[in-house]
């Protein structure tokens, strides 16, 4: 009698290991945070995991490359003791929504290594030489 009642409900439920259904969560890059501060204004910090992924140094540096965002980035650099969520919320609310294409400064270490290898100079000596060369090149 019990079997005839259960037949209408279909096959019995199969137990599955929980690890199979564990979602692979995408890691949020600092550039995603900078884009959400500058352009999308969506809140990316929703739990502890995303708050740990927030890197204030890189995000504040990204803010430092914009003419209109440099002050906000500097304010957060002056307050490293604040929580990541608090810093992120401050930047999201202070920075106006706009699509920014700020260029990142990159070190010219390839040139330094080539000069260092060719002449056999130390790293600091090469930096001094490059500084003098660039100063003379701009004047002449």
HSE (CB half, 13 Å, CA atoms) of 80?
A: 5
Mean pLDDT, residues 44-62: 92
Bigger pLDDT: 135 or 6? Answer: 135
Angle at 67 between CA 65 and CA 71, to 5 degrees: 85
For the ranges 25-39, 61-75, 116-130, the lowest mean pLDDT is seen at: 116-130
> Average pLDDT of the chain?
83
Provide the phi-psi class of 96: left if phi over 0, else alpha when psi is between -120 and 50, else beta: beta
């Amino acid at each position: 009698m019990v079997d005839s009642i259960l037949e209408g409900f279909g096959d019995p439920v199969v137990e599955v290991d929980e690890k199979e259904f564990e979602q692979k969560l995408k890691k949020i890059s600092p550039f995603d945070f900078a884009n959400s501060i500058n352009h999308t204004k969506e809140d990316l910090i929703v739990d502890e995991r995303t708050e740990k992924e927030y890197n204030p140094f890189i995000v504040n540096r990204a803010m430092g490359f914009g003419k209109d965002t440099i002050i906000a980035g500097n304010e957060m650099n002056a307050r490293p003791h604040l929580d990541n969520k608090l810093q992120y919320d401050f930047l999201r609310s202070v920075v106006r929504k706009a699509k920014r294409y700020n260029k990142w400064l990159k070190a010219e270490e390839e040139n330094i290594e080539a000069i260092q290898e060719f002449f056999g100079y130390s790293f600091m000596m090469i930096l001094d030489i490059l500084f003098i060369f660039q100063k003379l090149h701009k004047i002449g």
